[in-house]
A and B are shown apart, each in its own frame.
Chain A
Amino acid sequence: MSDTAMSAPADLAPARAPLDQDWRKVVNYGLVLGLALVFISLTGMPDGLNSRVIVEPWLSMGYLSLMWLPFAIGFAVTHEQVLEGMVQHKRGARELFAGAVVGLIGGLCLSLLVYLLDTRDLSDPLVNWNQPLLDFLTRDGSVGEGVLLWVGVSTALGLFGGLMRIVPALGSRLVRAVILTVVGAAAMEALIDDLSEGVWKLEGVVEWLYHPREGLEPAGAIALAIAAAFVVLWLGRQLKKGGAVYNLAREAQPLAVNAVSVVAVAAAAILLPIFLGRLTNDLLVNVGLFVLLALGLNIVVGLAGILDLGYVAFYAVGGYSVAILTSPTSPGISPTLPFWLAIFIVVGMATLAGLFIGAPVIRMRGDYLAIVTLGFGEIIRLTVRSDWASGLTGGAQGMLSIPGPDLNIGGWTLPLVGWTMPKLEVDLMGTNPQHILYVVMFFVAIAIYVSWRLENSRIGRAWMAVREDESVAEAMGINTVTAKLQAFVVGAILASFAGAVFAAKVGSIFESSFKILVSIVILVIVIVGGMGRIAGVVAGAFVLVGILGGPNQPGLMAEFSEYKLLIYGALLVWMMLKRPEGLIPNVRRSRELHQEEFLQDAWLRGEVDRDEAGSEATTDEGWAPA
């Protein structure tokens, strides 16, 4: 929710004096900043991420993990919720001052930590209370240098955060673009390196941009920053124009334009893996698996409003079914079917599992349901692992030698006619991530199509009605039990696809891949992306799994693997508090969760005073009554 969300009145009151602050708020934010800085330092994150260089000698991910905070909080402290009828002031020195003060307080807290690190030894309970952290914070200098450094840097960044409120929109967009480009380019070094390989001349450019094997060169970073600025200034306008043309065309001839778009997307999807290296393809496979899972959970949670915390159960059903059916060495039953035949049986198994787990829980209240599904997820994992079931599932030893999906669809002979489908000449089997990526994309395409069709169908509307209010939905003649079961089964089938591809991709299967954690990560993806929104869920999977990594999969930033769960947890809370509709919100959903109008009403009734409305936009009255 940005402060320009409400219609801004044309005439602004003159800017207030720098010292006319809400001091309590400024000090509170400063202390929060200080606590956050100390906390992050003590988790070991800065030191652990220090090996990831962003701009070769200047900046590392470790320093960035601290430096973004004063900037963000300096920006946040100057936020003011302006409601209809309030006096709106011009922005100016007051904002800068507030940002700087907040930064200063934060910097002082961190300096205190530096001092204590030097003089006290608290390493007994706090494992990161050690010399490397002190060296990191003082940049191998003396304590005094460290104190000066952090007080200075933090104050400057806080000031900079405040500055973002004053500069015109274009300016802040420029800054955002530059920062995101430089950090993003550094984060995606492996990917870009991989992409550019073999491409004419690009390789040279990339070599010039990056320091060998770590981070950007200073010159490269500056070049990228200029390029980003250029894109915002010039290309942004062009893109906007292009978008307008596209929209016009779509209004005129929706069918043709949609068809062209679909063809274009499909062509891109088919061509892309060819140009990507092994690494990128493998990463995309991981992302694709979580897109698939998240789309499935999105139907269950986002559309039908059933909080399924045992979603991993269906993932396991898919994975284990394929393992049993296709692996030549599976204990017990071992029919050694080809992957594509096994998929049909997997769908059947997933449907059964969906019905079996769904039926008992469907009548339960939302929160009971969450725990019971979580229980079912654990029951399935524990059973699969036990010696009792090891005759079928391999128990703790799992199953090995699962063949990859065979993309040679040809080779079979049509009965009666006697025509043999020609077999492709290329060898498209095994664990080559490029080939697996095609398989994943095939299933993701199915999932997107199914989600998209269902969302606008009678069933989809029934689900949403159930989500909003079950009693009302029932009164409208919707069979809520059937609707919920349908959602459960569709979700189960999509998850089982993901499980099937997962088993074929990894080539072996163990129960440790199906812990509760997986359910939670999928939930985080759905929430962060935007519940009930296909594009949001896809984007969520790309950002979270692609960059930070999945529960057992490394992302682009492998350094984060120790900290990603902490970040996931914090992200989940933050999203719920500040942006419950997700990154790319669903219109209907965000309307449900929309707060400003209630806040406006509350303010008009005099229940929220001016300062409260500014600092705690989402407290107490922020929510629509359920």
Chain B
Amino acid sequence: MTAAIRQRVRPRTAVDRFLTFLRFALTALVVFGLFAFLVQQFVGPDNPLTRFLNEDANRLDWDAFRGLLVSGLSQGSMYGLIALGYSMVYGVLGFINFAHGEVFMVGAMTGLITSNKLFEAGVWDDAFPVAILIAVLVSTICATLTAVLMERIAYRPLRGAPRLIPLITSIGVSFFIQNTSALLLGPGAKRYPLLPQWLRDDRGPTWLRIGGQKILVIVVAAAAMAALWYLVERTKTGKAMRAVAEDKEIASLMGIDVDRTIVTTFAIGGAMAGIAGILWGILFGSVTEFTGFLPGIKAFSAAVVGGIGNLGGAMAGGLTLGGSESLAPQLILEPLGVTGHTQLKDAVAFLVLIYVLLVRPTGLFGERLSAEDRA
């Protein structure tokens, strides 16, 4: 209600006008880029408009488009899995756990160590399903432990502190974990053992052949998402989590152990990040100490794009972000004649975030604000 009043009272300032301009400019850019792409696609690259914008333009064939889409979606589903952790913590505690990306990295790292040990023992080649199950278990447990410890040591003492304080703390935690990994395990890229051939084979009908790893990633992400949905919406723990997110004090009056619920939230977020970590290892086969940083930030962006605090939104946001950073350079920037357009892939991801926040500040799927936020 107060927001409505404020809206009416506040006069349109230069800032508002600038923002309106920015919204239109970005929308126009997207629309024009897409238009140019369609022209290039259906009229053919040899028309005056396309030639004017980009001399080297080529038609994008279906195979290439499908490749981009699938790789964007598989990357996006990992963003989504990480974003769940951001979203849940934000919902319950109302702050961004900047270090959540590092939990994901810990998952990928411990998964790597386990699978390399299993590879040396021969289990990886002989009984791959067993090996991968062990690796998933270990990495999930380690990631969960990291998240819980993080909460206990760094965030619990700060509960109730001004909002920016835990955020700054989490930046410190993030750097600490990143450099711990570099110093303990050595810097640089480390490789996962090679996956068995049957997993790497392309599958699907001829018009839609997709790499086996990508299918696996998308399927596992969907399964994890479904399990989480069941947990949050259908179990008592989930109910407690939702209650704590709504109002901590009332929840505790209702007999809910707030501390324990918060720990559970961190643990579940950590487990999701751990699963995402091992999927990352399977998909790309390599991990460094920086693996968690940029994906972490992008996953947070995904949570915001989808509407923070909303679990379905987090997944949708992840897919949106992954898809657009994969497709947008080719679909929008290339027809506009930007040279070396994929260099701006990461910039596109951040522009999507800015654009969504400009046009729909609550994210694509609205948001469930907790009491503190509404105040």
Contacts and interface: CB of A to CB of B under 8 A. Distances in A.
B161 A375 contact: no
A386 B343 contact: yes
Interface string A510-532: 00000000001001100100000
B297 A374 contact: yes
Nearest to A42: B184
A141 B6 CA distance: 74
A571 B177 CA distance: 13
A448 interface: no
B338 interface: yes
B22 A576 contact: no
Interface in B150-192: 154, 156-169, 171-180, 183-186
A577 B164 contact: no
A128 B161 CA distance: 38
A535 interface: no
A235 B354 CA distance: 58
A72 B184 CA distance: 24
A622 B353 contact: no
Nearest to B333: A388
Contacts of B18: 359
Given A364-B361, A571-B172, A623 B158 contact: yes
Nearest to B154: A573
Contact of B157 (A362, A378, A382, A577): A577
B175 A565 contact: yes
B56 to A, nearest CB: 13
A44 B183 contact: yes
B161 A580 contact: yes
Nearest to A524: B172
A618 interface: yes
B358 interface: yes
Interface string A326-346: 000000000000000000000
Contacts of A620: 156-157, 159
B344 A577 contact: no
Interface residues of A, number: 67
Given A368-B304, A374-B297, A623-B158, A569 B184 contact: no
B168 A388 contact: no
B300 interface: yes
Interface in A340-374: 359-360, 362-364, 366-368, 370-372, 374
Interface in B106-142: 113, 116-117
Contacts of B171: 309, 520, 523, 572
Contact of B301 (A375, A383, A616): A375
A127 B341 contact: no
A485 B180 contact: no
B100 to A, nearest CB: 12
Nearest to A471: B2
Nearest to B180: A566
B348 to A, nearest CB: 9
Contacts of B174: 569
A383 B347 contact: yes
Chain A's interface: helix, strand, loop or mixed, by majority? Answer: helix
B35 interface: no
A626 B171 CA distance: 20
Q: Which of B154, B158, B346: most chain A CB closer than 10 A?
A: B158
Interface residues of B, number: 61
A378 B346 contact: yes
A566 B113 CA distance: 22
A85 interface: no
B163 A371 contact: no
A370 B358 contact: no
A379 B345 CA distance: 10
B180 A520 contact: no
Contact of A371 (B169, B178, B301): B301
Interface string B51-91: 00000000000000000000000000000000000000000
Contact of B96 (A362, A370, A375): A370
Interface string A45-64: 10000000000000000000
A153 B228 CA distance: 51
Nearest to B337: A388
Contacts of B178: 565, 569
A540 to B, nearest CB: 14
Contact of A572 (B169, B177, B372): B169
Contacts of B347: 378-379, 382-383
Given A42-B184, A378-B347, A625-B160, A566 B169 contact: no
Given A570-B176, A576-B158, A307 B164 contact: yes
Contacts of A405: none
Given A364-B357, A624-B160, A625-B160, A43 B180 contact: yes
A127 B157 contact: no
B157 A372 contact: no
B351 interface: yes
A305 interface: yes
A168 interface: no
A485 B15 CA distance: 9
A84 B332 CA distance: 67
Contact of A367 (B96, B172, B340, B341): B96
B235 interface: no
Contacts of B372: 626
Nearest to B95: A367
A115 interface: no
Contacts of B304: 368, 371
A387 interface: yes
B350 A378 contact: yes
A294 to B, nearest CB: 15
A327 B106 CA distance: 45
Given A368-B304, A485-B15, A577-B158, A43 B184 contact: yes
Nearest to A617: B157
Q: Which of B18, B163, B166, B183: most chain A CB closer than 10 A?
A: B183
Nearest to B174: A569
Contacts of A305: 164
B223 interface: no
B19 interface: yes
B281 to A, nearest CB: 15
A382 B348 CA distance: 10
Contact of A382 (B167, B172, B180, B344): B344
B374 to A, nearest CB: 12
Nearest to B308: A368
Contacts of A474: 6
A124 to B, nearest CB: 8
A573 B361 CA distance: 30
Contacts of B183: 42-45, 128, 562-563, 566
Contact of B175 (A43, A481, A572): A572
A626 B163 contact: yes
Contacts of B157: 577, 616, 618-620, 622
Interface in A560-616: 562-563, 565-566, 568-573, 576-577, 580, 592-593, 616
B339 interface: yes
11 contacts: A367-B95, A367-B164, A372-B357, A379-B351, A563-B183, A572-B175, A576-B169, A577-B154, A577-B169, A592-B162, A626-B161
Interface of A: 39, 42-45, 124-128, 305, 307, 309, 359-360, 362-364, 366-368, 370-372, 374-376, 378-379, 382-383, 385-388, 471, 474, 481, 485, 520, 523-524, 527, 562-563, 565-566, 568-573, 576-577, 580, 592-593, 616, 618-620, 622-626
Interface of B: 2, 6, 13, 15, 18-19, 22, 95-96, 113, 116-117, 154, 156-169, 171-180, 183-186, 297, 300-301, 304, 338-341, 343-344, 346-347, 350-351, 353-354, 357-358, 361, 372
Please name the 8 residue pairs, one residue from A and one from B, whose CB atoms are nearest each other, closest first: A572-B172, A569-B175, A375-B350, A569-B176, A387-B340, A127-B186, A566-B179, A43-B183
Given A360-B354, A527-B168, A580-B165, 10 more contacts: A125-B185, A309-B171, A386-B340, A386-B343, A388-B344, A572-B169, A576-B172, A593-B162, A620-B156, A623-B158
